[in-house]
Structures are given as C-alpha cells and as structure tokens.
Amino acid sequence: MVNEYGQLYTIEGVAAAFLMIFTTYIVLSTTAILTPADTHVIDMQLEQLGNDALAMMDTPDPAASTSDLEEYVRNWKNVTFRDDLDSYLNNVTDVADTRPLNFAAYINYRDSGGEIKSKEFYSSPQMTGTDRFVAAHPVTVTRWVYVPYDAGDDIWDHLEYERLTNQVMLLEVTLWRD
C-alpha cells in the first residue's frame, strides 16, 4: 500500500538528482579564469629564449680572447649577427607554432658629448620606417658589450663617437612573432 510519505520521498529523490546533474553541468561549463601570470607566460618564454641566445653569442670560445657578440659589434658584422641570432631563435623541432621570430637590434651608447644615443644594428625586413615596435607584444632583451677602443674597428665609423677611450655599449634586441 502506498501512502503520502512514499510520494514525498520520490519527489525529493528526483529533485536531488536534477540538482546534482545541474550542478555538474555548471561546474564543467564554466570558463577558466586567467591570472596575469598565466597571460604573460608566452612573453616570458620569448624573453628567456632571447636572453639565452644572446648569452650563447656572448660566451667566449676558449681559443679566442673575445666573444662572438663582441666581434660582431666591434667590426659591425650585422649580417653575421643576424644569421647567428636567427639560427638560435628559429631553430625549432616538432613545434606546432612554426611562425618565425622577427627581431631588431639597436646599439645604445654615450657619444663624445655625453648624450645617450641609439643606432640601428639590424632590423627585420618586416619593420617599416622608424617604428621600433611593430608587433602587438614585442619583448626586449639586452646585453652589455665591452668595446675596447681600436682605431681599426668598424664600429667607430658608424657611431657619433670621437673620444679615444673604451666604451661599454648596450645591445638591445626587440623580438616579436607575427
């Protein structure tokens, strides 16, 4: 025999089952909230890649007295610099995103009057005019380069520098992905 208490338990069970299914649906369909640390992971990885590439170029060969980076700057070998940095940055294996990294390099120095100046060392063909920040999210990495004065070095022909002293210059590389 069925009484009214049995009907109440049945209705309560159906309502509880519906509530559990609805709660599961809400939990699984919500979007993930990205924190600021999550949104800049790609930029941090790009910055680390750039720093690593410059560090490899700045590590001197045991047989040589200077690093490759110092030689590139002292002798204004911007094409060799471009080729080496491009091979370090774009040497990827088995990666889904194969868009190449573009970069532009600038040398910041103090001229003979004490004013800080910047000279373009290399610029990707994708850069237009004097716009240094073409991409939506450029990343800048820097490296100090010690340049002892030698009248035979090509760098002095490219910079507005007249003193006959050694110079520490800042190589600034801006990286971006199209």
* Alpha-carbon distances of 41 from 36, 45, 88, 103, rounded to whole Å: 9, 6, 20, 19
Same domain (yes/no): 4, 67: no
Please say whether the beta carbons of 119 and 109 come within 8 A: yes
Same domain (yes/no): 56, 16: no
Same domain (yes/no): 94, 11: no
* Alpha-carbon distances of 161 from 12, 61, 112, rounded to whole Å: 87, 29, 5
Order the strands of the 139-147 sheet from edge to edge: 116-123, 101-110, 167-177, 139-147
pLDDT at 108: 92
- pLDDT at position 170 over 90: yes
Same domain (yes/no): 81, 124: yes
Same domain (yes/no): 131, 169: yes
Weakest mean pLDDT among 20-24, 128-132, 172-176:
128-132
Average pLDDT of the chain is: 81
Same domain (yes/no): 58, 18: no
pTM over 0.75: no
Same domain (yes/no): 130, 150: yes
Same domain (yes/no): 55, 9: no
Same domain (yes/no): 47, 132: yes
Establish if 98 belongs to a structural domain: yes
Establish if 52 belongs to a structural domain: yes
pLDDT at 112: 74
E-assigned strands of the chain?
Answer: 101-110, 116-123, 139-147, 167-177
Question: In terms of residue numbers, what domain contains 100?
Answer: 40-177
Establish if 35 belongs to a structural domain: no
Count of residues in the chain: 178
* Count of domains observed in the chain: 2
Please say whether the beta carbons of 174 and 139 come within 8 A: yes
Same domain (yes/no): 105, 151: yes
pLDDT at 5: 65
- pLDDT at position 14 over 70: yes
Q: What percent of the chain has pLDDT over 70?
A: 78
**pLDDT tens digits along 93-149:** 666 656 778 899 999 988 777 788 888 999 876 554 445 555 567 889 999 998 887
Bridge partners, 110 (sequence order): 116
pLDDT at 129: 46
Confidence of residue 8 (pLDDT cuts 50, 70, 90): confident
Same domain (yes/no): 100, 78: yes
Weakest mean pLDDT among 25-34, 50-59, 89-98, 116-125:
89-98
Same domain (yes/no): 101, 149: yes
